[in-house]
Amino acid sequence: MPELPEAETVAKTLAPHIRCCVFESAELLRPDALHELSLPLSALSGAVCNGVSRRGKLIIAGLDWPEKPAGIVPSAIIFHLRMTGRLFMGEKAQGKHIRCLFHLRKPDGKPDTLFFDDTRTFGKILVATPEILDRWQFWKELGPEPLEIGPEAFAKRLKGARPVKTALMDQKVIAGIGNIYADESLYYAGISPLREAGSLTDAEAERLLKSLREVLLRSIACRGSSIRDYRDADGNEGGFQKSFAVYGRGGKKCRSCGGTLERMRLGGRATVFCPTCQN
DNA sequence: AGCGGGACCTGTGGGC
DNA sequence: TGCCCACAGGTCCCGC
């Protein structure tokens, strides 16, 4: 799933469920769901969730400590859902791919459980301190947020001989863009995914950033895209998949020129574009 | 240095 | 109906 709009939607829908809840205990059903840099889940006991945010495709549950215990105290739990990770609440385990359970105590004293479910097991949980984040290369190198960066800074980051689509999907260049939103934004910007990243003019880079923002914001408004696995924290599908212009539409008609959309592989990923409208 | 390809997993859908 | 293969929203690692 989870590119930026899906991570944003999960963060938004998860927050009201877990904000102000106490983490009492956790069960790790699949050990490799825990990131190699993570503190053990036992370090969470007594933490209170102070909110849920997002950075790129990462979902971040912030932690407060009403009574600080001795020892190392985590400041956040970071979830990377990768392809098929899901976060949702429930009374008891549901589904056969639950990787981790977090037992919570709500402000009213009632129990609740946060589930981390992940069919393909690529997803990761990181119980982190600021020092751990400082050692996490992926985090340190994560590029700027596409909804915050300005056009000049964005243009400067698009460089090199590699295809512009590959650059867009590089989390070091810009955070949160995956296969869907790379293809969609390049289509709306009228730029071929094969163009050398460094060959874009300032005007083209600005157009690409504008398209990227518009696509991301439209998708966020639809609560993300559900191709197959993705659901928000309430179990609801997104709706933006109904609006795809090119993703998954190889061989179909371009909605702008009526020509046939071309499908190819680029950097190992399925890529769809209009050879007439994008150059 | 930077690229392409494969690996990591499980499930699904299409073609035969 | 059933089998096999290709493919799936993301990163990481290796060799060239």
Q: What is the mean pLDDT of residues A34-43?
A: 96
Q: Which of residues 228-247 of A touch strand B (CB under 7 A)?
A: 228
Q: How are beta strands A111-118 and A85-90 bridged, if at all?
A: antiparallel
Q: What is the mean pLDDT of residues A14-33?
A: 97
Quick one: pLDDT at residue A198?
Answer: 93
d(CA A149, CA A170) in angstroms, rounded, equals: 15
Q: What is the pLDDT of residues A142-154, one digit of tens each?
A: 999 999 999 999 9
Quick one: pLDDT at residue A267?
Answer: 86
Q: What is the pLDDT of residues A114-137, one digit of tens each?
A: 999 999 999 999 999 999 999 999
d(CA A129, CA A6) in angstroms, rounded, equals: 25
Q: What is the pLDDT of residues A78-120, one digit of tens each?
A: 999 999 999 999 876 677 899 999 999 999 999 999 999 999 9
Say how far residue A224 (Cα) sits from the centre of its chain: 10
- What count of other Cβ atoms lies within 10 Å of the Cβ of residue A236? 14
CA distances from A180 to A14, A65, A186, A205, A252 (A): 23, 39, 10, 19, 16
Quick one: pLDDT at residue A93?
Answer: 60
**Is the pLDDT at A216 greater than 70, yes or no?**
yes
Of A254, A227, A249, which Cα lies nearest the Cα of A239? A227
Say how far residue A155 (Cα) sits from the centre of its chain: 23
Q: What is the pLDDT of residues A184-200, one digit of tens each?
A: 999 999 999 999 999 99
Phi and psi for A259 in degrees, rounded to 5? -75, 175
* Active-site residue flag, A2: yes
The structure tokens listed for A104 are: 């919570």
Q: State the nearest residue by CA to the C1' of B7.
A: A122
Q: What is the mean pLDDT of residues A235-256?
A: 94
Q: How far is the CA of A1 from the C1' of B7 (A)?
A: 19
Q: Which nucleotide is nearest to A229 (CA to C1')?
A: C9
Quick one: pLDDT at residue A1?
Answer: 59
